[in-house]
Structure 1
């Protein structure tokens, strides 16, 4: 009986850990290799991404529309916000582009284990630009 209980506990713990993990979580690199983004969950349900490394770590957010934010470092900036998972696609989020200082609607789609298609757009997805990020192992 004790062994059955131990086995059930181990099974429940494994299922709980698997349910908490999501394949989009982790570290990703943009195609140019200039930036690396860590995607994480906040408040238990929405997905966010922080620019944790950039080639020029001293670079400032000089194009930000808010003059008060232009002196902050780009490294450490949360550039992905508010995504909700729908199967292998993450929707209803935004992406901030520090090169232009603009924020766009965005969706992300997993392509296998190590590719993530990012589509930033204005209004409808057809009016946008895509790039593919690669998982950092």
Structure 2
């Protein structure tokens, strides 16, 4: 009788603790959805990866880059203009917010402009990211296509 009581109590209280909810115990699987390789509208290929609790990104290829540059020539810091774009970390500090299911508080360096903008990823699926870049009162929403 004691075992039956324990089993009944277990089934009554575990759902309240979220143990039977879809996705319970899966950690940050949704948060990691953005990891992978993407082609940006400007032709850069970027790899987004997790580093601790944040997501960063670096340039993989400039082969399709519309600027046809391989160096960071528009960087406002003169001494950095000779550094290669490939391998350059251009995305940093993105954190996942489970409440909004968005990646927020990131920054992105835009080599074609030589400037850093605030970055937020509003939506992610298997094929693309919906990304918002902003600086002061300006904002732009773009789609980044996942590479195979």
- The answer to which of 92-101 and 16-25 deviates more is 16-25
**Equivalences, count:** 119
Contact kept in structure 2, 1:91 and 1:107, CA below 8 Å? yes
Q: Over residues 45-104 of structure 1, what are the superposed CA-to-partner deviations in whole Å (9 max), with x where a residue is unaligned?
A: 000000111116861101111111100011111111100001331100101110110001
Query: How high is the TM-score relative to the length of structure 1?
Result: 0.76
SS across alignment from 1:22 = helix
Structure 2: distance between partners of 1:59 and 1:110: 30
Report runs of 4+ in structure 1 exceeding 2 Å deviation.
Answer: 15-21, 109-112
Pair 1:136-2:136 in alignment: no
Partner residue, 2:57: 49
SS across alignment from 1:134 = strand
Change (3 A) 1:64 1:18: closer
- Unaligned segments of structure 1, at least 5 residues: 1-14
Partner residue, 1:29: 39
Bigger Rg over Cα: 2
Partner residue, 2:16: none
Pair 1:89-2:113 in alignment: no
- Unaligned segments of structure 2, at least 5 residues: 1-24
Q: Over residues 15-35 of structure 1, what are the superposed CA-to-partner deviations in whole Å (9 max), with x where a residue is unaligned?
A: 779759711111111134x21
Partner residue, 2:73: 62
Partner residue, 1:104: 117
Query: How high is the TM-score relative to the length of structure 2?
Result: 0.71
